[in-house]
Amino acid sequence: MTGQLKNEDIMRLKLLSKFFKGFADYNRLCIFESLMDSEKTVSEIIEYTGFSQSKISNHLKCLRESDLVDARQDGKYTYYCIKDDKIRTILSIANDSVKDVSEEKYNCMRY
């Protein structure tokens, strides 16, 4: 590839960066984990993760802005779900990729 990035490439990469931002946090990954099998309310996500309501709400906002999670209102409850099966596939591929990480690599990551 030669030359400079074109405006459309810059926009595409910025969108891609925002997309991956949704995956780049332990707390958000825990929320994804809670949503893998079914949609959940904030209370159910809190129960699953053990995180505070404010932490869950902040991260759900990020996930919604990154277009990774959807929400639907049903009476007084809002139900959250993973927006697309492709996102589940990405998470599954990521999980498969790290299964082979050796303990030495894990220990190295703790620095």
Task: Give 51-60 pLDDT, tens digit per residue.
Answer: 999 999 999 9
Check residue 3 and give its pLDDT. Answer: 84
Q: Is the dihedral of CA 12, 15, 19, 22 positive or negative?
A: positive
pLDDT tens profile 79-91: 999 999 999 999 9
* Mean pLDDT, the chain, whole residue set: 90
What pTM value is reported for the model?
Answer: 0.80
